[in-house]
A and B are shown apart, each in its own frame.
Chain A
């Protein structure tokens, strides 16, 4: 199943070849107790250790033969021409919540004055504290107000969860329409890379979903189960209507995918995305949070012989549904924490169900979820463990932090 395509992912578990990541930077140190909630953090990571943990994660991937690309490097390579850079800066500033025309102008000058693009990108990601730019000309109320807020441009601390702003599905991509305003700017980076980066722009990449689509959808809800089936979570972050749009395009225009399974998962901060409660780790094995098994409904979306999209509410148990669509006799569901209860709740919260498969039966997991990790080992999985005392404070595990670009 080799492909020379720049983007190719037709499973959750095929040998991982190329992955997109972001090393957390100063944006993390711009979190404060007052801002945490809006910026979707429950606590403030210690940057120095978070970077060390992230570096160890990258090194582990590289040792396993995975090529790691950094979002920031791709952006620098993308923005080689001044004209494009200017366009990008304009779009980025539009993506902030600034009303003040004079401040926007000053901000543009500030960004364009960077000689080195990497420094400009870093500045955009880390945010601008309110004392960094003064405007002399004040013509509107918004030039004056906003005094008490700590930032001109908010930091982007969620960026190290590269899983969410876009997803590779087959040879195409879904560019996310992020649910929260604070994360919307993340997709601008993605869009520029896909449209303008030398390695990607010549490719004819099918776009299954676009931020211009009215409804929200995020990468953590998308799982490519095999070359024919994609699972998508209906969640706090992903709306059913968005899945309708994506499914229609995928089923009509890709020559491979035949089924989209929509998983209606319970809402709540601890169940952000499908991949926080359900991930695939081997041909026939999944990790699941036992609390969602009861309340979850599954709908299948397919195309009939006339090309009409049809919907079915599945009535079987989850094992049977998966076995049917994956064309297997038997599916093993490994419950995080072993079974419903204290360990399951605790370890799901700490991303036990957010494993990243780097090959069939081979996964990267967080050290802190020892009950689930022992279970995975007992089930014969090859388990690589990363430490995550600081990275886990953003509530994402190995899968959230890595976006596969190419899998075998």
Chain B
């Protein structure tokens, strides 16, 4: 990675050098109307167009000097070692609903039948349909009861939102504990990549959080607004206690961060993570959904003596509060849709406030949010506009679909 080795992200906006993506695959075609809700989709994307759109997204990075890594490729490289592969297959199956010995051994056999580790990873992500594994001995009630369910292992259609399973913070990662059962298996990939990948595994990357911790936290809630300040959402997907744990770990290591601002946002589907209502686009500019400004409470967390944490409920208005912690005179909050109302609701829903900065004042956005996009242009932000007809159906924008591995320092 960097000359010094390892990962490095100490801002939301420093020039992006390396990013991790996942190109949506067959898992998206394993969504059905009955499954959508549980698998956190509102509609079913058309895979071919979703892939075309995602390729435009990846090209936008490359055209701007960002090296693109794909999660599925790193995972496949990690599993080239047979011992690791066997361990991985066992752990993956342990974390599915497959419990009966007959079903389990049929599935293990099936996974081992793949010659290429890339095909194996793709299949694990896509989900295994019942007809894909051969006949097996039914030796539990579960085998009978689940017989009319279409899948042996569920598809993982949310994986193209690489923002959430882990977050690069400073020189380490927060390997997250996902809120939903549906997404919890996603973090196994990052776990193995950072332990065993021929390159990443050797970097000895510290973890500020781990997937077996108790409280849920997801990357969409974790923002690095400067080398001193993190902003983390308390949201539908992230628990306050997880933020405590992360704060303690990060403050006790040799990192530059001094303050965590915990943003207590409304816990509803439309605002699932902090980055669906609030993102940083320049040194002094943020996009924000006007509807959270009222109900939002912010708490600051600092390092106290003896490893304790010091809390304070902040009472300043958000722009003043951000200016204070960023040591600026003024901060500009750009309201998605312009003001509270129909356009704001619509464009926030379609990820109008989920921009991804690839450099200060330079962001990737979805084409569909034309009012917010124009506002950003008016504020002097440079936009890279990508199509979004199919990708947006999973409720995530450019920030959700990417995890920075390296950014230049500001």
Contacts and interface: CB of A to CB of B under 8 A. Distances in A.
Given A43-B393, A270-B33, A32 B46 contact: no
Given A42-B43, A44-B350, A349-B44, A30 B33 contact: no
Contacts of A379: none
B43 A46 contact: no
B346 A389 contact: no
A30 B342 contact: yes
What 3 A-B pairs have minimum CB-CB distances, sorted nearest first?
A: A389-B389, A368-B46, A46-B368
16 contacts: A34-B345, A42-B43, A43-B42, A44-B349, A44-B350, A49-B368, A341-B150, A342-B29, A342-B32, A345-B34, A346-B31, A367-B49, A368-B46, A387-B49, A389-B389, A393-B43
Contacts of A390: 389
Q: Could you say which of A129, A343, A346, A370 has the most chain B C-beta atoms within 10 Å of its C-beta? A: A346
Interface string A345-369: 1101110000000000000000110
A346 B389 contact: no
A33 interface: yes
Nearest to B50: A389
Contacts of B65: none
A3 interface: no
Contact of A389 (B129, B270, B350, B390): B390
Contacts of A31: 346
Interface in A9-54: 29-34, 42-44, 46, 48-49
Contacts of B44: 346, 349-350
Contacts of B78: none
Contacts, number: 75
B341 interface: yes
Contacts of A367: 46, 48-49
Contact of A32 (B30, B32, B345, B388): B345
A150 interface: yes
Contact of A49 (B33, B150, B346, B389): B389
Contact of A346 (B32, B341, B349): B32
B33 A32 contact: no
Contacts of B31: 346
Given A48-B368, A49-B368, 6 more contacts: A32-B345, A44-B349, A46-B367, A49-B389, A346-B29, A346-B44
Interface string B340-352: 0111011001100
Interface in A311-350: 341-343, 345-346, 348-350
A349 B342 CA distance: 28
Interface in B267-281: 270
B183 interface: no
Interface string B1-43: 0000000000000000000000000000111111000000011
Contacts of A32: 342, 345-346, 349
A266 to B, nearest CB: 13
B342 A33 contact: no
A150 B341 contact: yes
Contact of A370 (B48, B150, B367, B368): B48
Nearest to B49: A389
Contact of B42 (A34, A42, A270, A348): A42
B32 A349 contact: yes
Contacts of B345: 32-34
Contacts of A34: 345
B347 to A, nearest CB: 9
Contacts of B390: 389
Q: Could you say which of A46, A150, A368, A387 has the most chain B C-beta atoms within 10 Å of its C-beta? A: A46
Nearest to A30: B342
A33 B270 contact: yes
B370 interface: yes
A393 B46 CA distance: 12
A390 B367 CA distance: 13
B29 to A, nearest CB: 7
B348 to A, nearest CB: 8
A387 to B, nearest CB: 8
Nearest to A29: B346
Contacts of B46: 350, 367-368, 389
A295 B345 CA distance: 40
Nearest to B31: A346
A277 to B, nearest CB: 13
A348 B270 CA distance: 26
Contact of B346 (A44, A343, A350, A368): A44
Contacts of A43: 42-43, 393
Interface string B361-380: 00000011010000000000
A129 B238 CA distance: 35
A390 B390 CA distance: 8
Contacts of A342: 29-30, 32, 129, 150
